[in-house]
Every structure is written in structure tokens, then in C-alpha cells.
Amino acid sequence: MEQNKEKTSELQKCPIHKKKLKIFCIDKICDIPQKQICSHCLLQGSLHAQHQAQTIEQVDQKIKEDAKNLHQKIQDLREEDQEKNYNFEEQVRNFEKQVVSSIESQNYDIKQILNSITSCEYIDLSDGTLTQLKEQGLNFLQNIIQQIEGYKTNQKILEKNNLKKSQDENSNINQELISEINNNNNLINFAEDKQNLTHEKLALNEYNQNLYTLNIVLKLIKGEVKLKSNIQPEIIDKLFKYIQNCQAEFKIFKDNISTFKENLVLFLNNGFKGQQKLKILQHKSPIFWIEDIDDSCFASCGENIYFWEKETFKIKGQILLQSFDESRCIKKINDLHIVVGLSTGSVQAYEIRYIFNEDYKQTRIMCDQLWNKTKHQDEVTGIFRVNSKQFLTTSFDFNIFLWNLNGEIQKKFMTHRSILYKQSIALYQESYPFELQQYNDTNNENKIQYFLSISHDKTIKLWDLDSQQLNYQDCQHICEEVVPDHEYAISICFVGKSNKFVTGHASSFRIYQLNINEINDRQGEQQENVFVLLNHISRVHTGIILDISFIQFDQNKQNLNTNQDCYMVSGSEDNSIKIWKFDFNQNIIKYILTLKEHFKYVQSVIPIYNQNSIKKEKTKNYQQQKLNFKLVSGSLDKNIIIWE
């Protein structure tokens, strides 16, 4: 016994100075494991010299006071929570009644929507439109089910993350004190109590509140409306907002269904059935560009360039390229010349020769190369006709060049900070409504002064082709618009001869108005209100929109009036083609039809017309000539599909 007492007394003494350990080192920069020291350890020359220290009794008292304060705070929180629960009971009962009413109303709306979907007798089952419309409604309801599963997953993740977060916070809070008292069992016990109390406090606040929110929302979606009594006011606000959003989406969906019948019938009356007529498998590489050449043929760009007869869809001519070249774009500049852009950055010009038979029917197209220029540092993505002697080119090297037919660059436009795609330019001209005319009227010499460019850097820029700067100097843009929401800006197209234009982004359309008067009236001043955003239509595709074209039906109205509705077609990275109705007055794009046969990105889709497709229809006021048309699409799957 005496030996044990002697050992205990030796353990309580400083091993160096043989004095009692009455002091605890609390210095933050101290890295010595032994914190319990004697008074001599603080003297100069010792390990803990000039360190901050307190007596063991002082440290112990401080821990006890902290623990007592935390106990009191926890008790106050519990009493406050009980009082809130008591006050909220009446609110919860009223809230349950409102939720039940809202859910019953939504269930009724869903039944009405499903009834309207299943009673669409005006749609032919053979073209798949009824199935598609049903899928649209069921997909909307499926989204709610997916939200339920998402809430389940989020609930587990939240529980795990909050537990880890609270443990990390507690560890940071108590790390300093624990390191100070790691050799004193009594003080360590107090620290562990403090850590447990802190965890309980966090659970009462953030952890449980978030968990309650998820549970309640999940039960509401499932129809289980009996809520817990300790619901918070902010949770009630969130739930009401959620219900209001659901009701708004249901209303939009019902409106879309009510207008779908009218739009679809009007569109189908123009002779387009939305069916695949033919699939052409000539190309051995992806197809990047489809171009309407004249009233008898169109062209496709891949490893080579092929010209196709519009009636028989047989090859009418071809341009064979070298093995290391691939064509990316083609444009007819006038009746005698076409220009081709290549993947190597080269631009080639060809002279067109037509071969006729004895009946003066065009049978073959021959192309003789005039020149080959390499000015771009990366592949040429687009060619855009300005007039019968000039054209613009875009490239992945961020630049736009203005060329003449002699192969000379007349102007360089220092454009964007990112790449330019195949439809990155739209030419503005009052009497030149379409880049793709009915018969591609290449002799149209109406003046083009301005053009727009759009890029992956999320900007739209306006340029003046009549700039007085010398040839081959860098032209600066007039004004610039930054696309909001950080959406990729890929394609752009003017709507008819109006000053409205549509831009294609990552799964959305934007409708703008270009105010040229703002430019003319404020020469030399800061340009404002040149670009006016009229509407933003989201979730139109599930991938980036790569191509936009407009369809015309009336031969007598090649130039669309600004107050006339028209139809639009888009190709996307979601492998689909969609047809839309553009409402000029309301600035709305309404869905009509989806075409799905490609299994890779749809790079190009255009309407094609010919003289034999014109039909006459008598109306009350006049005899109207309508243009039956076909759609031609090219994809990265190497296929050309003809739609009728």
C-alpha cells in the first residue's frame, strides 16, 4: 500500500522539477504533449517558458460553467419549441383542410387532362401523334413520381450529411479544449458532455427542420395529408408555393392541349404528314449541312458533296474531295457559282455546269473548281450569301470573313471569344425574308447592310457590312447583347422579313426584336435597347438546338408579313426534329409535331420545294396557291431522311 501511494505521488509530480502538477498549459501555440505542469515549468529555460497557463481548478470550473450554460440553452429551446407546437396546432388543422382541397382540385385537373388526351379523335393513330400526345401528358405526371423518389433519396442524403456536418462542427468547437485537457479524465468527461449537448442543439434546429420539410412534402405528393404538429411557418409557405407551381403547370399543359388540335389540323392541311418517305445511306461520314440549290435539286455535305434530284432522290452530281478533307458547308452564291467550306479551314469556289437531255430537262450537274484558299485556322462551319458577288464564312477559329468570288477577303470581323457554329449568322434585310428561298433566288440583289452573329461565348453581336474601313482591316461590332442564364448560344434566324429573330440555346428558344432605329438615331452614342427580349420558351428540346429554319406555304406571299403566323422547324442534339407554329402577335412558339428517326445529333434540317408541288386551293376571297413541301434532314448518324 505504501509503495502504491509513493508511485501515485510520483505520478502527480513534475518528472523534471519534482513539484506538484497544479498548472495546466493553455497556450495555443504549445505543441508539447505534457500539458499538466508545475510552476517551475513556466520559468525561463523550461519547456513551457512564457506560455499561458491556468490552474487545474480554473480550467475545471470553466468547463463546468460552459456545460451548465449549454444545458440551460437546450432547456430554453425545448420550452420554446413546445410553445410553438401549441400555437401551430390550429394553423395545422386549417392547413390540412386547404391541402386536401388543393389536392382534390389537382386530381380533378389531372383526370380532365387525361380525358382530353384519350379523346383526341382528330389525330390519325398511324402517324404516331396520339401516342406522342399521351406520352406528353404521362411524362408530366411521371415527373411528379420522380420528384417523390428524389425526395426519398434527398432525405437519406440530408440525414447523412447533416449528421456528418454536426459532428465536424462539434469537433472544431471542442478540438481546442480537448487538446488542453487530454490528460485529465474528469475534464474530458465534461468536454464529451459539451459535445453531446452541441449535437443535440444542432439537431433541434437545422437537422430536424429540414427533415420535417422533406417528410411533409413527400406525404403531400403521395396524398397522405396528416401533418406533424410541430410544423414551422416557413414550411407552410414552401408547400403552398409548391402547390401553386403545380397548378400553374397543369394550366399551361391544358392550354397546350386545347391549342394543339387547331395547330396540328392547320399544319396537316398543307399536305405534310410527318412521315418518313426515304432514308438515304450514301455518305460514309457524318452529315453537317443540307442546302437547297434550285427548284430541282439539293446538296448534302459529308466526306464528299452530293447533289440530289428532288423528285427521284437520285444522285445528280457530286464533288469528290481529297481523303484528308471533309465538307462542312455549301452555299449557292449565284446561278453559276457555289462555295464550299472544308474541315481543314479551306474555302473552295466552283463553277456550275448543267447537262440537259433532248427534252431540255436537266439531268446532270458538273462542278469545275475555280480556286482553293486557306485563310481560317480551323474548320469552316458556315457560309452565308450576302449578294451575287459576296459571302460570309464562320469558323471554329472565332472569326468571320467577308469574301468576293475572286477568293479575296474584303473584311475581317473580330468577333467572339468562342467558337461559331453552322448557323451562327443571320442576315438582316427588309425584303429578303429567308436564307433558303423557295427556289433559292440567287439573283436577288436587295441590299444587306446588317447581320447578327451568335456564339458559344453567350453573346449576340450586330455588325455593319457598309463599314467604311479599308479592306482587310478589323471591323468592330456596333453593339452586343449578353444572353442571360448562361445558356449556350448556338443558332440564330430572322423571322420572315420582320425585325424579329429567334435564337436556339441549350433546350430553349429566345425571341428578340432588333431595333435598327436605335442605331440610326444614336450614331456615336452608347447603343441601348437595340436587342429587346420578347419571350423565352424553355424545355423545347432536351439537347442543344443546332439548326432553325422557317417553312412557307403560300407562293404568292414569299415575303411574310410581320403580322402573319408561320411555321418553324428545329434540329437538336436530342436526335429529334420538331415543328412549331410561330405566333407573331403574341410572340409565342407553339409545339406541333416531333419527328424521330435519327439516332445521333440532327445537324441540319430544311424544307425543300419544287414547281411540281404547287397546288391551287379556292377560298372565299381568292384562289390561293399552296406549296407542298418536304423536309430533308442530315445527322451525325450519316443518314439523310426525307420527310413528307
Q: 537-567, pLDDT tens digit by residue?
A: 888 888 888 899 888 655 444 444 444 668 8
> Long-range contacts: 556-561, Cβ < 8 Å, 24+?
556/624, 556/625, 558/433, 558/434, 558/437, 558/438, 559/431, 559/433, 559/496, 559/497, 560/433, 560/495, 560/496, 560/497, 560/498, 561/496
* Mean pLDDT across 598-626: 65
Going by the DSSP 8-state scheme, the letter that residue 389 receives in this structure is S
Say how many C-beta atoms besides its own lie within 10 A of residue 340's C-beta: 26
pLDDT band at 484 (very low <50, low <70, confident <90, very high): low
Task: Please give the pLDDT value at position 551.
Answer: 81
Overall pTM > 0.85: no
Q: What cell was used for 221?
A: 405528393
Which residue, among 148, 156, 280, 274, has the nearest Cα to 218 in the 3D structure? Answer: 148
Number of Cβ atoms within 10 Å of the Cβ of 159: 14
What secondary structure does DSSP assign to 272-321, as a single string? ----EEEEE---SS---EEEE-SSSEEEEESSSEEEEETTT--EEEEEPP
Report DSSP letters for 64-105, one per residue: HHHHHHHHHHHHHHHHHHHHHHHHHHHHHHHHHHHHHHHHHH
Q: Is 208 helix (H, G, I), strand (E, B) or coil?
A: helix
CA-based angle 490:494:498, to the nearest 5? 155
Q: Considering only 99-103, 120-124, 577-581, which range has the smallest mean pLDDT?
A: 120-124
Sequence-distant (6+) residues with CB within 8 A of 598 are 575, 576, 577, 633, 635, 637, 639, 641
| Amino acid letter for position 519 | I
pLDDT tens track for 335-393: 899 999 998 999 999 998 888 777 677 778 889 999 999 888 888 989 999 888 999 99
pLDDT tops 60 at residue 593: yes
